[in-house]
Amino acid sequence: MLQDRCRRIALSIYGRSYRSRITDQVARVFAVPDRPLRVVASEALEGGRGKEALYSTCHEATAEQVIRWYAIRWSVEVFFRDSKQCLGFEQPQGWSRKAVERTAPLAMLLHTLVVLWFAQEGHRLWQPPTHRWYPGKADPSFSDMLHTLRQAGVGPHVLAMAPSGRGSRKLARLLEHAVAMMA
């Protein structure tokens, strides 16, 4: 689709302005021929977005609307990924119907509580990591928020177990490192 003639547009999505070449058309899937789709092909003219192919079951939508809908949906997708990877929502061990029905709302509530805690308290405790491969990280991810919460909750209890006396400074550093790795 991008080899044909395309329109050039400027979109404001993800909090930035992007210039792209786009083209779109209505298509049909062989398995469901009576259900038209709006297919959009996009290529960023600047930045790292590259080529993308998007579709929507709302075939009356414009290409710009489809792209904006995907941009709006992105934060929801990140929420689901974080819940699965960081909170264990991906592999629930529920065997009864009620357990299965409680798992998703509980994971979503837990995610929300972590973010709220970080917004109120945890942001004061968070320190951006200093990795050579990621020198400019300024905003925390959900994983960073959860890491900070674990350190704040578990760290003081573990560090309180450090003995005093000869060699205690070395042991305290070892415990600090263990808490950091655990979180």
Q: Where are the domains of the chain?
A: 7-83, 96-183
Nearest to 38 by CA among 23, 51, 27: 27
| Token digits of residue 155 | 């760290």
* C-alpha to C-alpha distance for 144 and 84, rounded to whole angstroms: 15
Tokens of 64: 């710009």
138 Cβ contact partners less than 8 Å away, ≥ 6 residues apart: 128
Each residue's pLDDT expressed in tens, for the chain with a length of 183 residues: 888 788 998 888 887 888 889 999 999 989 999 999 999 999 988 876 788 999 999 999 999 999 999 988 988 898 889 988 888 777 767 778 887 777 778 888 888 999 999 999 888 988 887 777 777 778 898 988 988 888 887 666 666 666 677 767 776 777 666 666 655
Is the pTM of the predicted complex or chain greater than 0.85? no
- Do the Cβ atoms of 56 and 29 come closer than 8 Å? no
Per-residue CA distances from 78 to 72, 110, 133 (Å):
11, 15, 22
